[in-house]
C-alpha cells in the first residue's frame, strides 16, 4: 500500500509536468519515479530522516548507470525538502 508521503511527493512532481509512478511499499531503489522529456528522477521518500549508507550507494549506482538523478524527499520543520543525492 502506498503511504501518504509517497503519494504527496508523486502529486507534487505530477503537477510540475512529470509522469510519476509510485512503488507501493517498495524495498527497491526508489519510492517514486518521475519522468519528463529527457529527465528521469528516482526519488526516495523518507518522512523520518535520511538514507542509510547502503540505500544511498544503491541509488547513486542505479542513477549513474542510466543517466538519471537521485533525489531524497523528506520533512524538515513541517516543510517538504527535496535534495539531490
Q: Where are the domains of the chain?
A: 4-84
25: pLDDT confidence band, cut at 50, 70 and 90? low
Sign of the CA dihedral running 29, 35, 38, 39? negative
**Percent share of the chain, pLDDT over 70:** 94
**pLDDT on residue 83:** 94
Domain 4-84 has CATH 3.40.1350.10: yes
Consecutive H or E run containing 40: strand 39-46
The answer on pLDDT for 77 being more than 90 is no
Q: What pTM was estimated for this model as a whole?
A: 0.91
In this predicted model, what pLDDT tens digit does every residue of 36-71 receive, in sequence order? 999 999 999 987 778 889 989 999 999 999 999 999
Amino acid at each position: 500500500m502506498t503511504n501518504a508521503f509517497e503519494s504527496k511527493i508523486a502529486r507534487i512532481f505530477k503537477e510540475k509536468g512529470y509522469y510519476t509512478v509510485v512503488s507501493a511499499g517498495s524495498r527497491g531503489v526508489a519510492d517514486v519515479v518521475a519522468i519528463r522529456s529527457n529527465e528521469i528522477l528516482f526519488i526516495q521518500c523518507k518522512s523520518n530522516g535520511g538514507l542509510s549508507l547502503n540505500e544511498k550507494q544503491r541509488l547513486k549506482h542505479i542513477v549513474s548507470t542510466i543517466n538519471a538523478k537521485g533525489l531524497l524527499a523528506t520533512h524538515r520543520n513541517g516543510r517538504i525538502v527535496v535534495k539531490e543525492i
